[in-house]
Amino acid sequence: MRKSVVRFHQQQKHNAAKRGFFRRHLLLFILIASLLTISGGTYWYLHYKDVADTKIRNDAHSKYLTAADANIQRLKELKIKHAQQAEAEAKAKAEADEAARKAAATQAPSGSTASNKVCDVTNAAVITVVVNKKHCFNPITWAPSDLTSLGGYLLRAEAAGQLNGMMNDAAAAGVGFSLSSAYRSYSDQAATYSNWVAVNGSQAAADTVSARPGYSEHQTGLAADLKVGGCALECFKGSAAYTWLTQNAANYGFIQRYPDGLTSITGYSPEAWHWRYVGVATATDMKAKGIQTLEQYFGISGGDYS
């Protein structure tokens, strides 16, 4: 009986100790539960915010890509439109030049041709033809039959193909250039020459920088005037493109037609911008032999009109 009473009291003391433990640590339990609740809430909030932010970024990126695709498509359509316009303009110019050529061919030649000159260039279709102040076209309104457009300018087909390749390679080398003039018909040259006479004040002064109609290399469809951006004529000589051409043009069949120091032979002041197609074989042979003019290479008379 005594043992049972002892165990009873011991059990009561144990239970009282447990209740005391929970009472003493209740605040701690509440604090831990609160921290767990706050941590869980914070985690849920951050996760939700990250999901929402990701959705916002994805939506913004999707809108950007949609706008970029639309802009690219618009630029493609604009480029196609410009190409079509350029092609139409080049075609219209070619048709107008051909109409002018036919009209001029039905009229007696006019302009400032030398009265005592018998024009003897009857082989104008030959790639190596020489036209200068002593040798003019016969018939004087001759025009090539294989003109094609390059960047809106007309050239004979073979010359245009070689020039296009040369322009592309120069651009790839970082020294790109473009055309400022190419084929000019007899009537075009008559207008050009008249303008130079007016600008220079006399025919004699104009003769140093422009050919009389019927005497111009541009009428062959084998000559091209080049430029770099807005730099044409005299300033072209100081360009990197000019340096590249002096080293590489022969490989494409082109020569600088009117070089420095040879005015007495060519009849013209130096023109760094004026390049003439003569074919790869002739151009490379001239370069190898150190011959700069067609007059010297073929033994043809040159110089002034008289």
- DSSP run (H or E) holding 257: strand 254-258
Catalytic residue among 77, 87, 271, 295: 271
Tell me how far apart the alpha carbons of residues 251 and 168 are, in angstroms, rounded to a whole number: 14
Helix (H) or strand (E) holding 294: helix 294-298
Round to whole Å and give the CA distance between 50 and 73.
34
Q: Is 271 assigned a catalytic role?
A: yes
Q: Which residues, in sequence order, are CB contacts of 33 under 8 Å at separation 6+?
A: none
Contact assessment for residue 249 and residue 255, using Cβ atoms and an 8 Å cutoff: yes
Distance between CA 57 and CA 35 in Å, rounded?
A: 32
C-alpha distances out from residue 101 to 30, 94, 121, 206, Å: 105, 10, 18, 24
State the angle between helix axes of 240-248 and 157-172 in degrees (0 to 180), rounded to the nearest 10: 120
SS3 125: coil
As annotated, the active-site residues are: 271
